[in-house]
Structure 1
Amino acid sequence: MRRTTVLAIAAAASATLVATGCGSSGSDDKPATKQAAPSVDGQGINVRPLSDLKQGGSLRFRIDQWITQYNINQVDGQQGDAQDIIKAVLPDLFDADTKGAIHTNPSFLVSAKVTSTSPQVVEYTLNPKAKWSDGKPLSWKDFEAQWKALNGTNTAYEASDTSGYDHISKVEQGADAHAVKVTFNKPYADWQRLFDPLYPAAYIDTPEKFNKGWAEKAPVTGAAFKVGTYDKTAQTVTIVPDPAWWGPKPKLDSVVYRVLDSSAGTEAYLNKELDETTALLPEDYKRLAKAADTDIRRGARWDEVHITLNGGRGPLKDVKVRNALQAAINRAGVNESFSKDLTFELKPLNNHFFMPNQEGYQDNSSEFDKYDPEKAKKLLEEAGWKDAGEGKPRTKDGKKLTLDYTLSAGGTSAQSDQAELVQQMLGAVGVKVNIKSVPANDFFNKFVNTGNFDLVSFRNVDAVYQTMLTSTFRQPQGKNLFQNFGSIGSPEIDALLTKAGETTDHAESIKLYNQADVLIWKLGHSIELYQRPQIDAVRKGLANYGAFGLADTDYTKVGWVK
């Protein structure tokens, strides 16, 4: 169920604040001994052969909010829980392994390969058995409709990300009814991230269907599981095996997703209402690690915690004010305050595209990202915000320098703690921060996705392909923010990201992404904090599931040990 098409975003409420939890420092309050972070291919999923698993049983998860949009390529479909569910019920053409290497999924593809480089041509051979839940076979027409919806030529399609699709010049039938030929007008290195998952043409081939046809439901499915029930009253979505599925039979009878505040996850797990929950926060880990019939499973996921700055409105339109915030926030202090009781190493994050345990990682932070309150004050003075005295917000043209820090009401106490720390740090340089709590179900749809905030914290996850981050840093077009919710970008950054996406030289693409990253830091796009490894509490009898790291989930292999 892991995303390989569009970058997933996850609520800050999902333990955004404490990166890793493997226990406290002990009753004697001595500093915790820090363990190394998991390797890039680290995962813990209790690998077992299918012969060890029983047929039947249910799996129960917590999700952050009621899903309002199941088209994950639409601007409101970026929430990570929606993406997890949709990957379980739609054709998943490619999967990542533990090192992030991409492989075709034989249930949907016989093959997929580049057959020409000038121009670039990719030819797909579909599994002849693959079909939609309405009985129609998968075909080249599904590819064509998805391309037309996402290539950016018709802005009535509210697309979250057009990168890659805008490089395609033609989609047509290949050698037979099960073949697809995609021709590019420019090279595109990450072609495997396109059309994954695949949506049915008949349900996305007009802007109306694309934008509204997947609101609160998936009208058609095409995988091992289908949606069984949507219960808005109980706030649950249940997926069940599709009897028309042509691939390996799933072991589970159902997977139930239940909307629940993150702060209630530990209690729900201990009450046997959930089969998995995060064990990142120290107070949660202490209880979960002692729970009966529980494994603590660890992995190295692409998962970054940051604070987004909104340059699209108010005082933060001024880059000097954004740079001042960068200098005023002690990133190391924020990280240390939440990791001091943990035994897991928490590394600072100084790159927007690569994790510290990834090839390509280098420190691209700017001169403004080193904690320096005096520099922050000087920048604010240069921006015209005058000192009003200790404890008072600065003023300019009769206005006070105040910003909102938007939080989800369904978050953890650690989320609130981070906001309060930032509030104190910015207050010390004359920036008043108002902490604004909003309903969990509205956090993304009404605030993050629409740019209705000054400061906000959430996570970007599973960017196995760097091109998945293009929409996070590209300049918005009109009201379409893509995933650049703070509306901070430049033509130079756009050009570098486009060039990086077009080069097939891996070393050169890494170089270009890092060049773009240098500019992103200087513009004050966001304040990176740390990589968040996976620390999950999982029922001991659950096999082939847990902390996947960079790998994808195969729900046909998930089940309970006999």
Structure 2
Amino acid sequence: MERLRGWPAWVAVWALIVLTATGCTSSGGHDGSLHQALPTYGSYDINAAPSADLRAGGTLTVPITQMVTQFNFNHVDGALDDVWTIDTMTEPRLFTRDAEGVPRIVTDYLTSATVSTAGGHQVVTYRLNPKARWSDGRALGWRDFAAQWHAVGGGDDRYLVADPSGYDRIADVGQGAGAHEVRVTFRQPYADWRRLFTPLFPAAAYDSPQHFDSDWQGRLPVTAGPFRLASVDRTAQTLTLVPDTAWWGTRPRLDRIVFRVLDPDAALQAFLNGEVDVVNAATSEAYAQLAKAKDTDIRIGSAWDEVHITLNGASGPLADRAVRNALQQAVDRPALAQVAASGLPVKVPLLGNHFFMTNQPGYADDSGLYGRFDLAAAERALDRAGWRSQGEGRPRVKDGRPLTLRLVLSEGTNRLGEDLAQLVQQMLARAGVRVDIEKVPATAYGPQYLDKGNFDLAIFRFTGLTYPSSAYAVYRRPAGGQVFENYGRVGSAQVDKLLGQAVGTLDERTARRLYDEADAEIWRLGHDIELYQRPQLLAVRKGLANYGVPGLGDIDFAKVGWER
């Protein structure tokens, strides 16, 4: 599945499954020649067109990997890519990102947002659009901001939050000069303040731990967006959104958007059969069938999208950093990237950084020896850690226990994800590490396995972390009952200190230096095995406009429609 951590939380992608709304092609298409350079920073491919020139009406059908059960994106069980997409269509999105990841005000909700200093504190003043109202008739106001701050950043463990970053630096939220002005005062500076309160959620469904959890299970209790949730059909496994007649902004072009639960193979066939209008094309099997399919555009662009192997350091053999470091060197990352690139028209570069993509300003390879494939070094490290070789084909042993690890894989994983898991299994076997692959239901993969640390190895993706501070929750040490997004429970005081400084540093050059220092320490800790930057290739039905791969930005579904 995908874990989404692009804005407030994880845009992560559980276990390499299909990305439903991120891939693209221009109207000109692509020639299919293999292994061209990865698209440059900020490139996008959405068949952009003035929405007024598009046909009014029509349906867009999009595959998703699992049924949404928790619609609260800030909840630990709701921080998924599909939930992010739905919430930003139905709840206030104060800022939207352009193709280069730069946030821009959404004037349907804000007339301005300014930063000042008062008493030595950073203060953000939001001026709300007076037309903006919740579906229960209330105007958006400071109490909605305050409830979200208390729930997400208040430190109350009864709120099961995915990522408190930024919210936990706020000192106060109050009314400004009038009912439509909100003042947010920070006790510590926060550079990426624009990522907060997007989406903004209603105080009526956020003002208690019970509301924060149960009010969003299977439904959207209060909305304020261009779309509303019309139906949840658990038999047909579909979610249907339609334009909200109370919407005060420009009316969406589409009559409805249907999200349909399909596994990767079924989604591919459904697209070829004309049953869905978009499908992932970023695997060799899918691209081979889709590149020349009838009425199909392949849209290609550059996004924040990484694939990695999380290492669970909470217990078992991987609690020893030396063993985690050995695994880093025993995995042949270039070979895995080569498999991922097979048959695709773009390169799949290795990643040496946890915060920046290879074609993004700020990127530096901080991996050092921990990112270098060296089987002999891995074997020596395991020897020193007390894991004794028992001969080829047999797992190492320490204190009578074999070196056996569980790689937990979602049943929603596509064929590429399965291939990668099997290759990792074979690579680690050469070092004397036995890996048992365990497939689990897609709906349980997050809440029952990742969230609870019920695994040794897990392959999945984080996507959309264009704000580097978005990744703070992935690498910070768990506290109390909160794991945040650090599923492997690997961290250190040094990483926390460096990231705490980085997210509060307003000078971009200094912040990047701090992120680099933290990144080098994350590699040294053996937090994970960073693999590669995933290319964005999406097959879409010809004639679909303003949809595809938006670079480092966001899709505006109100502008999506069909050409006349």
TM category (shorter chain) comes to over 0.9
Selected match of 1:355 from 351, 354, 357: 357
* Structure 1 residue 476 displacement after superposition: 0.6
Contact 2:147 2:206 in 1 (8 A): yes
User: Which residue number in structure 1 is paired with residue 77 of structure 2?
Assistant: 76
**Cα pair distance change 1:94/1:169, threshold 3 Å:** same
Please identify, of 207-216 and 123-132, the stretch whose mean Cα deviation from structure 2 is larger: 207-216
In structure 2, the residue corresponding to 1:247 is in which secondary structure?
Answer: coil
User: Which residue number in structure 2 is paired with residue 29 of structure 1?
Assistant: none
User: Which residue number in structure 2 is paired with residue 144 of structure 1?
Assistant: 146
* Structure 1 residue 211 displacement after superposition: 2.3
Q: Given the alignment of the two structures, is residue 492 of structure 1 paired with residue 494 of structure 2, yes or no?
A: yes
User: Which residue number in structure 1 is paired with residue 462 of structure 2?
Assistant: 460
* Structure 1 residue 15 displacement after superposition: 5.5
* Structure 1 residue 13 displacement after superposition: 3.5
Contact 1:4 1:95 in 2 (8 A): no
In structure 2, the residue corresponding to 1:470 is in which secondary structure?
Answer: helix
* Structure 1 residue 246 displacement after superposition: 0.4
In structure 1, the residue corresponding to 2:40 is in which secondary structure?
Answer: coil
* Structure 1 residue 553 displacement after superposition: 1.2
Equivalence map 1:19-168=2 (5 Å) = 33-116=34-117, 118-168=120-170
**Cα pair distance change 1:65/1:196, threshold 3 Å:** same
How many residues end up aligned between the 2 structures? 555
Instruction: Flag structure 2 segments of 5+ consecutive residues without an equivalent.
Output: none
User: Which residue number in structure 1 is paired with residue 239 of structure 2?
Assistant: 237
* Deviations, residues 136-155 of structure 1 (Å, cap 9, x unaligned): 11000000000111124322
* CA–CA distance in structure 1, aligned partners of residues 224 and 402 of structure 2: 54
* CA–CA distance in structure 1, aligned partners of residues 320 and 335 of structure 2: 25
Equivalence map 1:171-210=2 (5 Å) = 171-210=173-212
Equivalence map 1:281-300=2 (5 Å) = 281-300=283-302
What amino acid does structure 2 have at the position aligned with 1:109?
A: L
User: Which residue number in structure 1 is paired with residue 325 of structure 2?
Assistant: 323
Contact 1:61 1:276 in 2 (8 A): yes
Contact 2:329 2:371 in 1 (8 A): yes
* Structure 1 residue 259 displacement after superposition: 0.9
Please identify, of 331-340 and 413-422, the stretch whose mean Cα deviation from structure 2 is larger: 331-340
Selected match of 1:449 from 448, 451, 475: 451
Selected match of 2:228 from 220, 226, 230: 226
What amino acid does structure 2 have at the position aligned with 1:12?
A: A
Contact 1:349 1:531 in 2 (8 A): yes
What amino acid does structure 1 have at the position aligned with 2:12?
A: I
In structure 1, the residue corresponding to 2:199 is in which secondary structure?
Answer: coil
In structure 1, the residue corresponding to 2:16 is in which secondary structure?
Answer: coil
* CA–CA distance in structure 1, aligned partners of residues 194 and 116 of structure 2: 14
* Deviations, residues 14-42 of structure 1 (Å, cap 9, x unaligned): 259xx99999999xxxxx74211111111
* CA–CA distance in structure 2, aligned partners of residues 345 and 179 of structure 1: 48
* CA–CA distance in structure 2, aligned partners of residues 128 and 431 of structure 1: 61
Contact 2:148 2:201 in 1 (8 A): yes
* CA–CA distance in structure 2, aligned partners of residues 288 and 360 of structure 1: 34
In structure 1, the residue corresponding to 2:557 is in which secondary structure?
Answer: coil
* Deviations, residues 380-420 of structure 1 (Å, cap 9, x unaligned): 11111111121111111111110011111122222111111
* CA–CA distance in structure 2, aligned partners of residues 275 and 457 of structure 1: 28
* CA–CA distance in structure 2, aligned partners of residues 340 and 270 of structure 1: 22
* CA–CA distance in structure 1, aligned partners of residues 86 and 52 of structure 2: 26
What amino acid does structure 1 have at the position aligned with 2:247?
A: W
Contact 2:311 2:526 in 1 (8 A): yes
Contact 1:41 1:549 in 2 (8 A): yes
User: Which residue number in structure 1 is paired with residue 316 of structure 2?
Assistant: 314
**Cα pair distance change 1:142/1:259, threshold 3 Å:** same
Q: Given the alignment of the two structures, is residue 170 of structure 1 paired with residue 133 of structure 2, yes or no?
A: no
User: Which residue number in structure 1 is paired with residue 431 of structure 2?
Assistant: 429
Instruction: Flag structure 1 segments of 5+ consecutive residues without an equivalent.
Output: 27-31
| TM-score of the pair, normalised by structure 2 | 0.95
RMSD over equivalenced CA pairs, Å = 2.0
Contact 1:2 1:553 in 2 (8 A): no
In structure 2, the residue corresponding to 1:110 is in which secondary structure?
Answer: strand
Structure 1 consecutive aligned stretches of length 4 or more whose deviation exceeds 6 Å: 19-26
User: Which residue number in structure 2 is paired with residue 536 of structure 1?
Assistant: 538
Contact 1:474 1:484 in 2 (8 A): yes
User: Which residue number in structure 1 is paired with residue 511 of structure 2?
Assistant: 509
* CA–CA distance in structure 2, aligned partners of residues 24 and 263 of structure 1: 23
**Cα pair distance change 1:108/1:89, threshold 3 Å:** same
* CA–CA distance in structure 1, aligned partners of residues 243 and 34 of structure 2: 45
User: Which residue number in structure 2 is paired with residue 4 of structure 1?
Assistant: 7
Selected match of 1:383 from 382, 385, 390: 385
Selected match of 1:414 from 416, 424, 429: 416
* CA–CA distance in structure 1, aligned partners of residues 239 and 194 of structure 2: 29
Selected match of 1:332 from 331, 334, 339: 334
**Cα pair distance change 1:309/1:227, threshold 3 Å:** same
